[in-house]
Amino acid sequence: MRTEALVLRTVDFGESDLVVHLLTPDAGRIGAIAKGARRSVKRFAGSLDVLNRVRIELAVRRRPGTLARLEQARLVHHHPGLRRRADRFALAGWLAELLDRMAPEGNAAHEAAALYGFALRTLALLEEAEPDARLRVLLELRALDALGLRPELARCVRCGGEPAAFHVPEGGPVCRACGVRIDGLLPVRRGTLRTLEHALRLEPDRLGRLHLSGGALAEARELVHRFARFHVGLELRSEPVLDALGLGVRG
């Protein structure tokens, strides 16, 4: 199979091989082994760095759970804008880790293409971004949505009424009446929910201009952080790096 891919993660294997985790527009996430990649300049030409966009030739194994064999890779774009700044690179690396852990393997072609398109547009945005906590929270919301984990933001998840607070396990707001007997509701203002809803509809390259400050930013960080922890169910290794750079979701 010939296709294009984004390199999400690489792991040294044996003497000279490399296991490469790839996101592709045709088959979603794929694990592949690149035989001799740490020696063969000819077939891989140093193209297999994390966050590189590459053209690849793959021999896909029929048995599920086995690695495909990466025959060749050629660099298309190495996202130089990300590599110039630690904050951009950290945010892009966090996205790659999230996709590596959460992107489905062998999903339907149109879903795989949509997720791949999201990843490329987001990296293009980050190549020129001034990352801050606001951009991170908006990107996380968009990434969760692209992975099929979209919170409800407009209406009470139980009766469709006006939102009064957010209920993390149900993935959406509840109204005052429905929330009476629920413990651990997250206070959130309607304006914050509306801004987050707006963020889900914008083209990714416009996210940088969306205003979210002060109390709304703190609420959004808390909401997205708790929603992600509950529904993704894992803490990514790159989270502490983002926290250290002031790009965390923990307020």
Q: Which stretches of the chain bind Zn ion, using CB under 5 A?
A: 156, 158-159, 161, 175, 178
Region at 4 (left for phi over 0; alpha for psi -120 to 50; beta for the rest): beta
Closer residue to Zn ion (CB): 175 or 207: 175
- CA separation for the pair 182, 174 (Å, rounded): 9
Smallest distance from Zn ion to CB 61, Å: 49
Smallest distance from Zn ion to CB 157, Å: 8
- CA separation for the pair 100, 53 (Å, rounded): 15
- CA separation for the pair 130, 224 (Å, rounded): 20
Q: Judge residue 88's burial from the number of C-beta atoms within 10 Å of its C-beta, 0-12 exposed, 13-18 middle, 19 or more buried.
A: buried
Smallest distance from Zn ion to CB 156, Å: 3
Closer residue to Zn ion (CB): 27 or 168: 168
Smallest distance from Zn ion to CB 164, Å: 8
Smallest distance from Zn ion to CB 165, Å: 11
DSSP assignment of 129-184? ----HHHHHHHHHHHHHHTT-----SS-TTTS----EEEGGGTEEE-HHHHTT-SS
- CA separation for the pair 124, 175 (Å, rounded): 38
Smallest distance from Zn ion to CB 171, Å: 14
Closer residue to Zn ion (CB): 163 or 204: 163
Nearest of 89, 92, 97 to residue 232 by alpha carbon = 97
Smallest distance from Zn ion to CB 177, Å: 6
- Tokens found for residue 176: 């005052």
- CA separation for the pair 55, 208 (Å, rounded): 29
How many helices, marked H, and strands, marked E, lie in the chain?
Answer: 9, 8
Closer residue to Zn ion (CB): 178 or 241: 178
